[in-house]
Structure 1
Amino acid sequence: MNRFRANLLLLAVAVIWGSAFVAQAEGMAGVEPLTFTGIRFLLGTAIVSPLAWREWCALSSRGARPLPTDAIGVGLLGVLLMLGAAFQQIGLVSTSVTNAGFLTALYVPLVPLLAWLILRTRPHWSVWPTSIGCLAGTWLLSGAAEVDPVVGDAWVIASSVFWALHVLLVGRIAERMAAPFLVACGQFLVCGVISLIWAAGSETITLAGIHQASLAIVYAGVVSVGIGFTAQVVGQRYAQPADAAIILSAETVFAALFGFLLMNDRLNASGIAGCALILACIIAVQIAPLTPRACE
């Protein structure tokens, strides 16, 4: 696969992930957030499991099976994934698809900030102004005329912290294990199981509700989690890192587009300005490090 085709594949991933926000919002008509998240990720586990089994067999044949410490790392990824997905899903109960898409993308400038705090990796200078710009965009998007942000927006903003931590760690763990599909399957399984256990103690789960939300659950689980993640892994093997980051961040635009077309989402001038500012900062924080050092 050449670079152009890889970029097209990643663009398809961005479309899938953007459209999944609609399915996540529609699914709340039949089930509650944790139930939706649990079933969704267990479906994703089923989709990725054949590829994970193939990797397991290949590792076993080389005598390189994962160590117990690797299992702990995958478990940690699953917990972070669960918190990010669950918080985002809770937020979608009371915020729009457009808001959720753009606010989730706050993880992009958060990743280098958390890398600086946790791993002591010095961030590029562009992180500071773009982080401030994202905060300003969030304020505009959540409603500049209000003292407090929408409750759903606050949940989604909180989810972006867990998404950022997940992005920060997943590459390191997958690289050490040299088994991206095994890592994916393991974290999906942990996420799904914990979500359903939590749902069993805090939500009302009914077969009628699951049936009502079945189409949304299948789309979010099979297409978004299973196919979307798999395509991302394949595409990023051949795409340039900068290309991948910028293209995948376009999910925010597709979330807004699908929200407009399918859910009649509308933004006022403040909201449009907030979306534009967040998107500009997301792109800038990824492009700026590519400029010559003399420009820093």
Structure 2
Amino acid sequence: MKSTQLIPRISKAEVVLILITVIWGGTFLLVQHALTYSGPLLFVGLRFAAAASLVALFSRPVLRDLTLLELKAGVLIGTSIMLGYGLQTIGLQSIPSSQSAFITALYVPFVPLLQWLVLGRRPGLMPSVGIGLAFAGLMLLSGPNGASLNFSSGEIATLVSAIAIAGEIILIGAYAGKVDVRRVTVVQLATASVLSLLLVVPTGEPLPDFTWWLVISAVGLGAASAVIQLAINWAQQTVSPTRATVIYAGEPVWAGIVGRIAGERLPVVALLGAVLIVAGVIVSEIKGRKKVAVEENAGVNADQL
């Protein structure tokens, strides 16, 4: 007879991913401020260049052992990162931010859907419920004007960016455990940087004047990106893409908290959305006792890494 574990146990890797969403949320206002000095694609390119350089600096002893598999994984993940950032930015040039937020949130149901369609991995009941709660919360956070879709060029670009974000999460999970975290992180950050910078010219983005604030912002947020990508690549060795997706959905919650501290006011519907996202994180981890026993016998070692 199956019973449920009502108090979910959170592994060390899952705690790391939760902390990553806190960092994401905390950098939101910093990114907005940095974009007053630079166009979005140029800044993304500079930010990831700084991140790649920092990770490479501390990973020099292992970089010489880069394998073909790690190069392939890094390029694929880096391309997904760039498409996620770049296409979302392009979409924002013609659609409002609330609509962009709603379309981007589609990556939450896209992850289990793509895993099912492409890899044949159907998510369990409770993770599916958690995905549904998190997506509902993200819709509430995007506001009432976000869900209107006319399939304009900006909307289509943002929709593809959501698919790219889902692809990034799935790719990280697929290669986790098969590659060296530091080497693949350097490759993916460098790939995202180069591709973002290459998009500056065809999109007609103007080049800004040099300012030290731009340099400081790029290096500071690049350091945050380095920590984020290293942590994600490490944590997803033991956290499934579906579970990680529910945790990542908490990023706008922390962004809202930081904004609240900075003086912004959240509407009641947004607060309800935040509650649903937190509920989704909790519900997705509830498991049957039989499943818990199987995992324990298999020696799930997330806390031992």
> For the superposition of Structure 1 and Structure 2, which TM-score range results when normalised by the shorter chain?
0.7 to 0.9
Instruction: Verify the 8 A CA contact 2:247 2:281 in the aligned structure 1.
Output: no
> What are the equivalent positions in structure 2 for 1:177-196 lying under 5 Å apart?
177=179, 179-196=180-197
> What are the equivalent positions in structure 2 for 1:59-74 lying under 5 Å apart?
59=65, 65-67=66-68, 70-74=70-74
State how far apart, in whole Å, the 2-side matches of 1:154 and 1:280 are: 30
State how far apart, in whole Å, the 2-side matches of 1:154 and 1:276 are: 29
State how far apart, in whole Å, the 2-side matches of 1:284 and 1:39 are: 38
Tell me the alpha carbon deviations over residues 180-214 of structure 1, each in whole angstroms, 9 at most, x when there is no partner.
11111001111100100101232111234x54534
Q: Percent identity?
A: 28
- How far the C-alpha of 1:221 sits from its partner, in A, is 0.9
- How far the C-alpha of 1:276 sits from its partner, in A, is 2.2
Q: 1:199 to 1:145 in 2, by over 3 A?
A: closer
Tell me the alpha carbon deviations over residues 80-115 of structure 1, each in whole angstroms, 9 at most, x when there is no partner.
01011224555778538xx96x98676455422221
Query: What secondary structure, in the 3-state scheme, does the structure 1 residue paired with 2:201 have?
Result: helix
Instruction: Verify the 8 A CA contact 2:107 2:165 in the aligned structure 1.
Output: yes
Across the two proteins, how many residue pairs are aligned to each other? 274
State how far apart, in whole Å, the 1-side matches of 2:273 and 2:57 are: 42
Q: 1:91 to 1:141 in 2, by over 3 A?
A: farther
User: Which residue of 178, 182, 185 corresponds with 1:176?
Assistant: 178
Instruction: Verify the 8 A CA contact 1:81 1:163 in the aligned structure 2.
Output: yes
State how far apart, in whole Å, the 1-side matches of 2:177 and 2:147 are: 44
- How far the C-alpha of 1:220 sits from its partner, in A, is 1.6
State how far apart, in whole Å, the 2-side matches of 1:145 and 1:91 are: 16
Instruction: Verify the 8 A CA contact 2:13 2:239 in the aligned structure 1.
Output: no
Letter matched to residue 270 of structure 2: G
State how far apart, in whole Å, the 2-side matches of 1:139 and 1:7 are: 24
- How far the C-alpha of 1:41 sits from its partner, in A, is 0.3
Residue 277 of structure 2 corresponds to residue 278 of structure 1 = yes
State how far apart, in whole Å, the 1-side matches of 2:58 and 2:42 are: 26
State how far apart, in whole Å, the 2-side matches of 1:145 and 1:126 are: 30
Letter matched to residue 183 of structure 1: V
State how far apart, in whole Å, the 2-side matches of 1:46 and 1:106 are: 32
Q: Give TM-score, length-normalised by structure 2.
A: 0.72
Query: What secondary structure, in the 3-state scheme, does the structure 2 residue paired with 1:207 have?
Result: coil
State how far apart, in whole Å, the 1-side matches of 2:166 and 2:219 are: 26
Q: 1:281 to 1:12 in 2, by over 3 A?
A: closer
Residue 202 of structure 2 corresponds to residue 205 of structure 1 = no
Q: Which residue of 1 aligns with 2:288?
A: 291
Letter matched to residue 171 of structure 1: G
State how far apart, in whole Å, the 2-side matches of 1:6 and 1:145 are: 36
Letter matched to residue 78 of structure 1: G
Instruction: Verify the 8 A CA contact 1:42 1:188 in the aligned structure 2.
Output: yes
Instruction: Verify the 8 A CA contact 1:44 1:225 in the aligned structure 2.
Output: yes
Tell me the alpha carbon deviations over residues 244-265 of structure 1, each in whole angstroms, 9 at most, x when there is no partner.
9477665443222112223x33
Q: 1:157 to 1:193 in 2, by over 3 A?
A: same
Q: Which residue of 2 aligns with 1:62?
A: none
Q: Which residue of 1 aligns with 2:123?
A: 123
- How far the C-alpha of 1:147 sits from its partner, in A, is 6.5
- How far the C-alpha of 1:154 sits from its partner, in A, is 9.0
- How far the C-alpha of 1:20 sits from its partner, in A, is 1.5
Instruction: Verify the 8 A CA contact 1:109 1:130 in the aligned structure 2.
Output: no
Q: Which residue of 2 aligns with 1:111?
A: 111
Higher deviation after alignment, 41-50 or 8-17: 8-17
Query: Structure 2: where are the runs of 5+ without partners?
Result: 1-9, 293-305
